[in-house]
């Protein structure tokens, strides 16, 4: 049995009013080829620092431990004081599911807040509302968009999801989207859907950078 509990709840089932969730590990997910962007999306700067560092800082107030999940090429170039982790060889080069499987194998009996570097409009309040909305019996929970799809990189995975994810992988299915559907993951609808907008092209980057600049100056 996991020695942690749902981050939205205390040990007695009462809603947790503390900022840091006991036993919760935060994963800032950097991997990926960023082919459409033409450069590493995790190193783009929206908030006065590289996005991987911003995401790690953003979730640090909720988690007991923060890890930056990156690929082998990024390992030597990402400058950070946070711990870095590359996918285990068995899970290399298969996308986000490889990062999550590595996480479960490296840190068994923990829950994970799994946040990608693609969402520069995500704010601390969005994460707080998300964690506090998670139901105690959930296997997983994720942001859910207007296209009726989960956002697997804006998600929480319970310790008990690990064995089910391993079975999902062994079946040959590498999609976290289908995994979330298979386990009937809890759906979270944020107050503003733009927090789920992934920035994937240079045009997206220029537009969002200007939007955030106007917002900060306003």
pLDDT digits (tens, 9 = 90+) for 137-159: 999 999 999 999 999 999 999 99
- The whole-number average pLDDT for the span 103-123 is 95
In a domain, 134, yes or no: yes
| Structure confidence at residue 194 (pLDDT) | 92
**Position with higher pLDDT, 61 vs 36:** 61
* 42/44 Cα distance (integer angstroms): 6
Q: H or E stretch including 103? A: helix 96-106
**Position with higher pLDDT, 89 vs 15:** 89
153 burial class (0-12, 13-18, 19+ CB within 10 angstroms)? Answer: buried
In a domain, 11, yes or no: no
* Inter-residue contact 140 to 6 (CB < 8 Å): no
- SS (HEC) of 2-30: CCCCCCCECCCCCECCCCCEEEEEEEEEC
- Per-residue pLDDT tens digits for 183-217: 999 999 999 989 999 888 889 889 989 988 888 87
* 127/124 Cα distance (integer angstroms): 5
In a domain, 188, yes or no: yes
**Percentage of residues of the chain with pLDDT beyond 90:** 69
40, pLDDT greater than 60: yes
* Tokens 């999801």, residue located: 161
17, pLDDT greater than 50: no
* Inter-residue contact 151 to 196 (CB < 8 Å): yes
Question: Tell me, what CATH number does 55's domain have?
Answer: 3.90.550.10
- The whole-number average pLDDT for the span 165-170 is 97
* Tokens 């107050």, residue located: 191
**Number of domains present in the structure of the chain:** 1
| Structure confidence at residue 2 (pLDDT) | 31
* 189/10 Cα distance (integer angstroms): 23
Cα-Cα end-to-end distance for the chain: 49
| Structure confidence at residue 218 (pLDDT) | 64
In a domain, 4, yes or no: no
In terms of residue numbers, what domain contains 76?
23-217
- The whole-number average pLDDT for the span 104-128 is 96
Q: What is the pTM of this model?
A: 0.88
- The whole-number average pLDDT for the span 81-104 is 95
In a domain, 43, yes or no: yes
Residues recorded for the chain: 218
* Residues contacting 185, CB < 8 A, separation 6+: 138, 139, 140, 141, 142, 150, 155
In a domain, 8, yes or no: no
**Mean pLDDT (the chain, rounded):** 88
In a domain, 40, yes or no: yes
User: Under DSSP, is residue 59 helix (H, G, I), strand (E, B) or coil?
Assistant: helix
């Amino acid at each position: 049995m996991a020695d942690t509990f749902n981050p939205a709840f205390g040990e007695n089932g009462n809603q947790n009013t503390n900022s840091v969730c006991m036993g919760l590990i935060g994963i800032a997910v950097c991997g990926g080829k960023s082919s459409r962007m033409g450069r590493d999306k995790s190193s783009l700067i929206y908030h006065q620092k590289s996005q991987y560092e911003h995401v790690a800082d953003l979730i640090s107030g909720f988690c007991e431990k923060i890890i930056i999940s990156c690929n082998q090429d990024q390992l030597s170039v990402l400058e950070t004081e946070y711990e870095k982790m590359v996918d285990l060889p068995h899970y290399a080069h298969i996308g986000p599911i490889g990062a999550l499987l590595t996480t479960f194998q490296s840190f068994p009996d923990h829950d994970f807040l799994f946040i990608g570097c693609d969402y520069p409009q995500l704010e601390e309040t969005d994460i707080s509302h998300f964690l506090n909305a998670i139901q105690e019996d959930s296997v997983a929970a994720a942001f859910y968009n207007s296209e009726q799809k989960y956002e697997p990189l804006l998600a929480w995975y319970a310790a008990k999801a690990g064995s089910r994810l391993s079975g999902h992988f062994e079946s040959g299915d590498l999609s976290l989207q289908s995994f979330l559907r298979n386990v009937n993951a809890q759906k979270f609808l944020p107050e503003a859907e733009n927090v789920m907008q992934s920035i994937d092209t240079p045009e997206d980057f220029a537009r969002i950078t200007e939007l955030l600049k106007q917002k900060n100056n306003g």
